[in-house]
RNA sequence: GGCCCCGUCGUCUAGCGGCCUAGGACUCUGGCUUCUCAAGCCAGCUACGAGGGUUCGAAUCCCUUCGGGGCUACCA
């Protein structure tokens, strides 16, 4: 016992990080934090045709935004770097050569077309598809002949007879017969390494102890173990594997663009809080065991264990995410809420960021905090306080042009004008006195008209507080203006 | 097709042989509260995929079956 835990998150940024990636990163991070171990972040960019610098940077930014800080990896460095596989090419080449020397691997001269033909035939014959081992034991003459033809070779790992059995921390013992694990390619014809080589070499060299990753990689585990063996790693030094269940879309299969938004950047723009995203994602495939659901990042670290992770896939439910986001927003301190809201207000063009604007926003936020679910609702809610050319919403106009409404507005104006103290208490007292008591109107009818006149909409934050914030002058001007509609 | 993984309310889950006439959360429906919208509170709807075993007793163990998913690349 006693080896310090080291967990890695090693995405291949071929696009923006999505919900599934992040759930994996979150579990990796939480497990590292739970055990007091190390969280390592590595970029798997061996597929240079699909990974771009922009995506790599976006992945780094996303992890940072979510608060999933890493101890080893890009930007922070560490003793086992570099952490971009594209910068470790010589290491992989060295190991590939060693495997070749040991006869664990061999050069394969088959062309893609030939391989494809073999697969076709296998499929037709209803046998397990895969490389048939044609180049396993080539003679010097055969090699010379292939080279003369101008063929280029890939390096293939030799899978011995037998099987690989390992214990997956989530699924239990899993076994693969090598009949179904064909010899696999380690190095492309152009000399560049493949995932199968790089991932195994790096996990060993970087001293990773736990590999928690998506279940799509479950069947690649025997290949990874094969590389460990060729590297001379003792079985007790293999990392522990745990394959996480998928996060799927609302209806059917894996999460996709059509199937709800998958890019974390989108959630950020919509006004989801990182803590809400993490809290929700943590509940997909894991639970604390009791009925707790709303947990903080600190609690997640404290409670997270691999044995509480499920083996079955989970569907992503936007409604539940929204509910949690609403909870998290309500739990924000005034200063935090202000900090999160300001960017949305400036981006929407509601404020420019002057001190007086910020002061007003700060005063107004408490009355909307429990009525929004996402931060991007803040601008719409507070717009009436800042808008220069105020106008009642088109479909609300007809609701205040009837006789009763006109009376309400006239009486309100008359009653409010003499007020020397302008706050929600004095406003409410004045309006209740004239509209409810004197006119005998139902509150929803009476205040509804005033609401439309002053905020422009049938839906608004609490009326009296809104009017207080708006100020006496503007409030009266808007009521007067409404009378002319 | 082959190999592998998976299967409790619509969704996320609790459950690891008796505490289960299956609990919680989200959604939905109804109600209370109420100046709108929310929030809050109360109530309701709805699940162990199917079939066989094992057992005094099964959501929990075994088998079969059906269904879903992954892999089957010089992607990861």
Residues A347-380 have pLDDT tens digits of 999 999 999 999 999 999 999 999 999 999 999 9
Domain count, chain A: 4
Angstrom distance (rounded) from CA A283 to CA A298: 15
Q: A289 pLDDT band (50/70/90 cuts)?
A: confident
Q: What is the pLDDT of residue A237?
A: 95
Q: Tokens 């001269």 — which residue? A: A109
CA of A223 to C1' of B33 (A): 63
Q: What is the pLDDT of residue A8?
A: 98
Q: Over the stretch A142-188, which tens digit does the pLDDT of each residue have?
A: 999 999 999 999 999 999 999 999 999 999 999 999 999 999 999 99
Q: What is the pLDDT of residue A277?
A: 97
Exposed/middle/buried for A39, CB within 10 Å: 0-12, 13-18, 19+?
Answer: buried
CA of A231 to C1' of B60 (A): 43
CATH of the domain at A370: 1.10.8
Cβ atoms of A67 and A278 within 8 Å: the answer is yes
| Distances in whole angstroms, Cα of residue A32 to Cα of each of A59, A306, A373, A430 | 19, 11, 31, 60
Nucleotides in chain B near protein beta carbons (<7 Å): 1-8, 10-15, 23-27, 34-40, 68-76
Asked whether residue A359 is assigned to any structural domain, the reply reads yes
Say whether the peptide bond before residue A82 is cis (omega within 30 degrees of 0). Answer: yes
Angstrom distance (rounded) from CA A232 to CA A200: 12
> Which domain range does residue A114 map to?
88-244
Two tokens at A379? 């601008």
- Residue A243, nucleotide of least CA–C1' distance: B5
**Is residue A92 located within the same domain as residue A240?**
yes
Q: What is the pLDDT of residue A121?
A: 86
Angstrom distance (rounded) from CA A258 to CA A249: 9
Catalytically annotated residue among A4, A257, A339, A442: A257
**Residues ≥6 apart with Cβ < 8 Å to A83:** A40, A41, A42, A43, A72, A73, A74
Q: A3 pLDDT band (50/70/90 cuts)?
A: confident
Residue A253 has pLDDT above 70, yes or no: no
- Residue A309, nucleotide of least CA–C1' distance: B13
Cβ atoms of A206 and A42 within 8 Å: the answer is yes
Asked whether residue A83 is assigned to any structural domain, the reply reads no
CB atoms within 10 A of CB A312: 7
**Is residue A158 located within the same domain as residue A104?**
yes
CA of A122 to C1' of B68 (A): 26
The protein residue nearest nucleotide B11, judged by CA to C1', is: A317
The protein residue nearest nucleotide B74, judged by CA to C1', is: A188
**Is residue A155 located within the same domain as residue A275?**
no
- Residue A445, nucleotide of least CA–C1' distance: B35
The stretch A132-136 carries a mean pLDDT of 90
The protein residue nearest nucleotide B40, judged by CA to C1', is: A370
Provide the pairing of β-strand A184-187 with A154-157.
antiparallel
The stretch A453-459 carries a mean pLDDT of 94
Q: Over the stretch A26-43, which tens digit does the pLDDT of each residue have?
A: 999 999 999 999 999 999
**Residues ≥6 apart with Cβ < 8 Å to A224:** A196, A199, A200, A203
Residue A1 has pLDDT above 50, yes or no: no
Angstrom distance (rounded) from CA A247 to CA A281: 9
The stretch A324-336 carries a mean pLDDT of 97
CATH of the domain at A174: 3.40.50.620
**Is residue A106 located within the same domain as residue A238?**
yes
Residue A128 has pLDDT above 80, yes or no: no
CA of A250 to C1' of B9 (A): 17
Q: What is the pLDDT of residue A124?
A: 81
Q: What is the pLDDT of residue A341?
A: 98
Within A199-306, strands assigned E span 210-214, 240-244, 247-248
Asked whether residue A182 is assigned to any structural domain, the reply reads yes
A176: β partners:
A164
Q: Tokens 């495939």 — which residue? A: A285
Within 13 A of A156's CA, how many CA atoms are on the CB side? 23
Within 13 A of A277's CA, how many CA atoms are on the CB side? 30
Q: A395 pLDDT band (50/70/90 cuts)?
A: confident
Asked whether residue A1 is assigned to any structural domain, the reply reads no
Angstrom distance (rounded) from CA A265 to CA A55: 12
The stretch A105-127 carries a mean pLDDT of 89
- Residue A172, nucleotide of least CA–C1' distance: B5
Cβ atoms of A168 and A174 within 8 Å: the answer is yes
Angstrom distance (rounded) from CA A448 to CA A163: 75
**Is residue A97 located within the same domain as residue A139?**
yes
Residue A254 has pLDDT above 80, yes or no: no
The stretch A458-474 carries a mean pLDDT of 96
Asked whether residue A327 is assigned to any structural domain, the reply reads no
Task: Mark whether A339 is an active-site residue.
Answer: no
Chain-wide mean pLDDT for chain A? 93
Q: A388 pLDDT band (50/70/90 cuts)?
A: confident
CA of A323 to C1' of B43 (A): 21
ipTM above 0.90, yes or no: yes
């Amino acid at each position: 016992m006693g080896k310090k835990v080291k967990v890695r998150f090693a995405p291949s940024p071929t696009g923006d990080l999505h919900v599934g990636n992040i759930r994996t990163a979150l579990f990796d991070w939480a497990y590292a934090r739970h055990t007091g171990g190390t969280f390592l972040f590595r970029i798997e960019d061996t597929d240079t045709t699909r990974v771009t610098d922009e995506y790599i940077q976006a992945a780094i930014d996303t992890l940072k935004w979510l608060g999933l800080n890493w101890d080893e990896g890009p930007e922070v460095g560490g003793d086992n770097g570099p952490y971009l596989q594209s910068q470790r090419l010589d290491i992989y080449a060295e190991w590939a050569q060693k495997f070749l020397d040991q006869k664990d691997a061999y050069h394969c001269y088959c062309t893609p077309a030939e391989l494809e033909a073999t697969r076709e035939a296998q499929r037709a014959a209803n046998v397990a598809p895969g490389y048939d081992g044609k180049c396993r034991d080539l003679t010097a003459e055969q090699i010379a002949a292939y080279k003369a033809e101008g063929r280029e070779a890939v390096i293939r790992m030799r899978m011995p007879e037998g099987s690989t059995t390992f214990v997956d921390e989530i699924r239990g013992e899993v076994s693969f017969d090598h009949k179904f694990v064909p010899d696999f390619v380690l190095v492309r014809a152009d000399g560049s390494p493949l995932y199968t080589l790089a991932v195994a070499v790096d996990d060993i060299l970087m001293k990773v102890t736990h590999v928690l990753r998506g279940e799509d990689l479950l069947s690649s585990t025997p290949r990874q173990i094969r590389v460990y063996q060729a590297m001379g790693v003792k079985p007790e030094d293999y990392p522990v594997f745990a394959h996480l269940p998928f996060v799927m879309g609302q209806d059917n299969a894996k999460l996709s663009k059509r199937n709800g938004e998958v890019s974390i950047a989108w959630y950020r723009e919509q006004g989801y809080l990182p803590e809400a995203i993490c809290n929700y994602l943590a509940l997909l495939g894991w639970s604390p065991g009791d009925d707790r659901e709303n947990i903080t990042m600190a609690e997640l670290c404290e409670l997270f264990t691999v044995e509480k992770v499920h083996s079955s896939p989970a569907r992503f439910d936007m409604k539940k995410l929204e509910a949690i986001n609403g909870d998290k927003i309500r739990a924000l301190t005034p200063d935090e809420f202000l900090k999160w809201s300001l960017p949305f207000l400036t981006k929407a063009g509601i404020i420019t960021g002057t001190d007086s604007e910020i002061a007003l926003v700060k005063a107004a936020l408490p009355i909307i905090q429990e009525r929004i679910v996402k931060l991007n609702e803040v601008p719409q809610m507070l717009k009436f306080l800042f808008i220069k050319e105020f106008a009642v919403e088109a479909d609300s106009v007809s609701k205040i042009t009837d006789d009763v409404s006109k009376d309400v507005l006239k009486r309100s104006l008359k009653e409010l004008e003499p007020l020397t103290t302008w706050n929600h208490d004095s406003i409410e007292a004045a309006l209740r006195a004239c509209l409810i008591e004197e006119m005998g109107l139902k509150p929803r009818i009476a205040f509804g008209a005033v609401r439309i006149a002053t905020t422009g909409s049938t839906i608004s934050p609490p009326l009296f507080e809104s009017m207080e914030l708006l100020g006496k002058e503007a409030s009266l001007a808007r009521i007067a203006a409404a009378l002319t509609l």
